[in-house]
Chain A
Amino acid sequence: MTDELETEREDGRRPPRAVVGSHRIEEEMFGKVFDGNIVKRIWAFVRPYKKQMLIAVFAVLTFTATQLAIPLIIRYAIDHGIAPGTEDHSALLYSIIAFAAAILINFGASYVQETVVGRVAEDVLFDIRRAMFSHLQRISLSFMDKTEVGRLMSRLQGDVNSMQEFLETSVLSVGDITLLFGIVGVMLYLDFRLGLLTLAVLPILFVVRIYWLPRARIAFMAAHETNSVTNGALAEAIHGVRAVQSMDRQDINFTLYDDKAHANLRAHLTAAKYAQVMVPIVDSLTGVAMALVIVVGGSRVLNQALDVGVMVAFLFYIQRFFDPIRSLTLQYSVMQRAMASGQRLTEVLDVPIDIIDAPNAKDLTAEMDGSVEFRNVVFGYDPKHPVLKHVSFKVNPGETVALIGPTGSGKSSAMALVHRFYDVQQGEVLVGGHDVRDLTQDSLGQQIAMVLQEPFLFTGSVFENIRYHKSAATREDVIKAAKTVGAHDFIVKLTEGYDTELGERGGNLSLGQRQLISFARALVADAKILVLDEATANIDSYTEMLIQKALVRLLENRTGLVIAHRLATIREADRIIVLQNGELIEIGNHDQLMANGKLYSKLYNLNYSSFDDLPDEELEAATSGDFKT
């Protein structure tokens, strides 16, 4: 096999099934140049800074005016104070005074403009980001489930940043357009014919630029794209290095990566050609304009039809007037990018918030009894396909109820409804005797502690993770909770005990340890009702034992609703609810269910230590026996 591989590669052929990196589908980078609706939405964020923006625009105009004035002052000094034949040399002094005034105004205006624009752009950027982030905190979970975190992050970062760029650019564009028209106006004013002649090169540049822009953009995009492709392949090599080495793919991968890196090189060289080809064109046109001024303007100076200072001023203006054209074409791309980003931002901001507190919502107090009741509940993420069908049951205060059933039976949905993550389509969910829709979400959240299947820890110390948002909890409370769930022993063995910083998502802890910390967190939250989704992931038997013990402690004196997978947990429960296909099919304690001989007893008798170890066909056999119709 090795030999075959070597010879094949010498032919230049690549293995048919080998790829490195993946081709990411890029989002639309450019939108329309201008979209009224989006601009209106963005304007809403700028409005609080309206005064600053007005100041900025005023400063830009002033700044541009002084830029325009400087060659004029030089012209005046030459023609009226310096050039041979001028008698009154005081004009030079006046010019210098005017010059000094102009540059001081220029200094002030540029200072004001750049400070104000720079700061406002940053402010708006942070405001938009905050608005989105806070909106995301309220959006329904079904939207969050459907949307990748990475995608949302690119809204919060990339798209928001291009808004900032857009804002800065808009103000600059005002300046550039003013400068362009100002130069044209001043030149025509100084000498109409010479002005017209010199400006004749402008349309040429426009035409060239228009021809060049779409082609250049394709080349730039290609370079950008190959960058992300090669970087993606590199990232893959880093993350998958262990798999690569264990399957000995280094050589093939190197060849494939070389292909990508080489394509990247070629794309960049092409892009560089496109970028640079404009340089001699602009320089040549500048040369043509200056040559025209020298020949035509010069001969008019000779005929005394033109002051020499005007000719000098023309030469100065010519050196400046390509700058605004260049930056305006760049700003064109920025605008398009901003419109595409703005479109995506408004999409997120427009996602409706389904679950809001009712106008007369009450707070759920700690004095409530802690009961949970489902009354004829029908619910589906898609109303046409309900995952819970007319489910009714009541969990009495202090009782522990185990919810069991095969995957897709509706257990997790039932759990989410208690916390009002979603609203039911029919029936009602009551907590402490109140319909959850009549309660404020915050107070409901405070009375319900939840432990999710996948323990999620935040970056920060162990202490901070256990305390989480209960900032009133003392160190003693935290340690007590950790001791209760049996996490204390391993925590103190960490390098810095409770102050040990956890890596990304608690990466330096084992799954079982993370589970125990999340138990401690729920304990500190000290809620009357505990909703718990037991971990299914395989945890070694020793930690498993700790977790089982912790669970018993956690449920003491609380109403517990547990999605249970382990038989140990199930048997501990006061009552067991068996769900299948969204319907409640059995309810009762272990002994009762064993006695009635239905699904539960069949599963139990298969003698597995966990319901998740059940092979599919055994489960099928057990269920079909009962429900074959």
Chain B
Amino acid sequence: MSSDALKRAANRSDSLAHVNAAGWGRGLFTLVRITRMTLRHPWQTTFAIGATLVAAGLQLMIPRLLGHAVDQTQTAMAGGVAGKIAESALLTTALILLTVSILRGLFTMVQNYFAEAVGHHMGYELRLACYEKIQRLSFSFHDGVHSGDLITIGMLDLEGVRMYFSTALVRTILLAMLIGLGAYMLLSTDLVLGLVALSFVPFVAWRSSVTQLRLRATWLELQERLSVLTRVMEENLSGIRVVRAFASQVYELLKFDKASHAALELAHKRVGIRVKNTSAMTLSFFAAMGLVLWVGGNKVIAGEITVGTLTSFLTFMTILQMPVRQLGLMVNAYARASTCGTRLFALLDLDVAIKDAPDAKDLEISEGILRFEDVSFSYPQAAKRPVLQHLSFEARRGETIGIVGRPGSGKSTIAHLIPRFYDVTGGRITIDGQDIRNTTLRSLRQAVAVIQQDAFLFTTTIENNIAYGDPWATEPRIERASESAQLHNYVLGLPMGYDTVVGERGVSLSGGQRQRLSIARTLMLKPAVMVFDDSTAAIDAGTEQRIRIAMRRYAKDRVTIVVAHRLSSLMHADQILFVEDGRIVERGTHESLLAAGGRYRALYDLQVRPDDNIAATTKTEARV
């Protein structure tokens, strides 16, 4: 167990880890792929983009109309147009302006809503795809990946991709429209003044993009530093007894301060980056506005343009200001979507190593014979280190096979091969003559149940946990299974009985209670092969014995395999296999193995009353 875990830690070269190193080309490819995904919602996409175009156009009309209104007053006064006519002309302009404003609001609403909707629909699809993929990926994948990394992909990266349409794509179209059309209108009205008015755009666009990218880089670093801080705090609180036992509060505070200062320093730096640039951007915008006022003012005086035109130039600038400043956010959204998407797609594109063969048939149980035929196995991450070598044995219905060996001998691996959590790398495993690789996973896993070492509890009621594999089960059946697993009495003693919520956020069960629940859960499946993977280690010997007696009822209908290091768990087996370095080195019944006087015998002597000899040896060693 421990060596497997170590190997896993040392061997983080699974496919997901490479993704971060992906270059620009891959990022671009990712963006194309996300963009193509939006096309699965053609109507909503069309609405969003169409509304964006209209809304941008309407928005650009507003400065024009305002300038027009100002001019109407000026020309009327200068030319002596009759008050009534001039007033009705103003009324017309006002009504048009009102209509344009309302329409602009409505189209912006449509644009934003559908942009969001496309994103949320994409998010929904990706969520499902992600969930399904994670559920199906084989054990060897999950062995090699940190659960935290998967959660990051499924939550944060998915969010980055979901936001792409509204924050990157639609915003790009809006900006292109506003800047493009706006520039055209300004420049065609007055080239010089137009250039002056637009002079802030390149500077702000550039600063904003650079700043956002820098903020993003420092943000990622800040997250890393904060996660160090989180870890320091979390470990301190979880291990508070160790901290107190060693009177190391001061040491812990120093550790905290170090992590905290590292994060604070960067947080300050980020404030600096942000402020320097937002202030500079505002200044450049206002400076351009001042220039427009100066140049435009002189032009008005010279009679080249009207006051209305000057007004419309100034309002144009206020309208352009926000989107141009947001250009950085847009650039950031592209960067985020491309890295997040690359990671997310890497997960979604992974091949499920263990799946139904194309011609897979349902497993058919007749005689109920499980056979290991010359089975060899090594983990994909360490293909050179064989875990099992040329293993053969046979188990018939009604029989119990005990498997024992040192930690790391490969005994647990045997348990994991039968339901195809991993595929053998040599030889084959058959049930009633059918190679398990040619059967459907579903039928195989219904026929083979493994009770794991560390029973995972779902955060729901005890009843639902027991019925996990058969959620249609009736209450009496659940209680019977619970009785057989010696759990029933304990559950009845709880204030909420079978409705007690357990798991991460529920009542916490002891190791032994969890294992009993896990046994009850497995009994519900009525499997043809039942494998105990060291799953009674935390149950006291007496209770274990009672469970064994209760199980005798079912045992005649199935093959039972018991993997354990406590001999009392498997002494009664019909056949005991002693595994060492992936090979079966001794086999026989308890009596015959004891009589043989080999490794099994040595282990037996160690476990039954080990105190005398240990005490004796250590005493002498200590004295030497």
Contact = CB atoms under 8 A, between A and B. Distances in A.
Contacts of A612: 540
Contacts of B233: 133, 153, 156
A100 interface: yes
Interface in B532-586: 537-538, 540-543, 545, 565-566
B290 A100 contact: yes
A249 B247 contact: no
Interface in A590-629: 607-609, 612-618
A92 interface: yes
B66 interface: yes
A118 B112 CA distance: 30
Contact of B298 (A92, A157, A239, A291): A92
A236 B123 contact: no
Interface string A256-290: 01100110110011001101110111111011101
Interface stretch (A79-87, A172-180, A577-585): A79-87
Contact of A247 (B6, B231, B235, B525): B525
Given A456-B242, A567-B611, A234 B105 contact: no
A617 B486 CA distance: 14
B155 A118 contact: no
B485 to A, nearest CB: 15
B54 interface: no
Interface in A327-374: none
B105 A291 contact: no
B603 interface: yes
B368 to A, nearest CB: 18
Nearest to A271: B116
B603 to A, nearest CB: 6
Contacts of B99: 287
B511 A537 contact: yes
B293 A77 contact: yes
Contact of B463 (A17, A100, A450): A17
Interface in B220-255: 230-231, 233-253
A315 B250 CA distance: 62
Main secondary structure on A side of the interface with B:
helix
Interface string B576-608: 000000000000000000000000000100111
B470 to A, nearest CB: 7
A48 interface: no
Given A141-B240, A237-B135, A298-B90, A19 B128 contact: no
A609 B610 contact: yes
Interface stretch (A107-115, A385-393, A395-403): A107-115
Given A243-B456, A456-B239, A503 B537 contact: no
A5 interface: yes
A542 B407 contact: yes
B135 A244 contact: yes
Nearest to A355: B244
A445 B263 CA distance: 31
Contacts of B271: 114-115, 118-119, 122
Contacts of B260: 126, 129-130
B37 interface: no
A568 B615 contact: yes
Nearest to B525: A247
Contact of B124 (A261, A283, A509): A261
Contact of A537 (B247, B275, B445, B538): B538
Contacts of A538: 537-538, 565-566
A27 interface: no
Contact of B315 (A92, A315, A503, A567): A315
A78 B460 contact: no
Contacts of B618: 548-549, 552-553
A444 interface: yes
A615 B542 contact: yes
Given A74-B314, A96-B294, A239-B456, A1 B470 contact: yes
B244 to A, nearest CB: 6
A32 B421 CA distance: 53
A558 interface: no
B216 interface: no
Contact of B237 (A149, A238, A608, A615): A149
B60 interface: no
B393 interface: no
B246 A449 contact: yes
Interface stretch (A33-41, A190-198, A303-311, A429-437): A303-311
Contact of B74 (A17, A83, A290, A549): A83
Interface in A3-28: 4-5, 8, 15-19, 21-22, 24
B105 A283 contact: yes
Contacts of A250: 132, 135-136
Contacts of A16: 471-472
A276 B113 CA distance: 6
Contact of A95 (B293, B522, B542): B293
Interface string B291-313: 00110011011000001001100
Nearest to B253: A134
A545 B407 contact: no
A275 B268 CA distance: 33
B219 interface: no
A542 B116 contact: no
A450 B233 CA distance: 21
Nearest to B469: A247
Nearest to B280: A107
Contact of B450 (A246, A503, A541, A568): A246
B614 A568 contact: yes
Given A241-B142, A254-B131, A284-B102, A525 B109 contact: no
B11 to A, nearest CB: 10
23 contacts: A17-B473, A92-B294, A103-B283, A111-B279, A136-B237, A234-B154, A238-B151, A242-B142, A246-B445, A247-B469, A247-B522, A248-B442, A254-B131, A298-B94, A308-B70, A445-B246, A540-B407, A545-B610, A548-B610, A549-B617, A552-B619, A566-B611, A568-B611
Given A283-B104, A298-B73, 19 more contacts: A22-B503, A77-B293, A78-B297, A82-B300, A84-B74, A95-B297, A100-B290, A134-B253, A136-B236, A234-B127, A272-B116, A280-B106, A280-B109, A284-B98, A287-B97, A298-B69, A298-B90, A312-B311, A448-B245
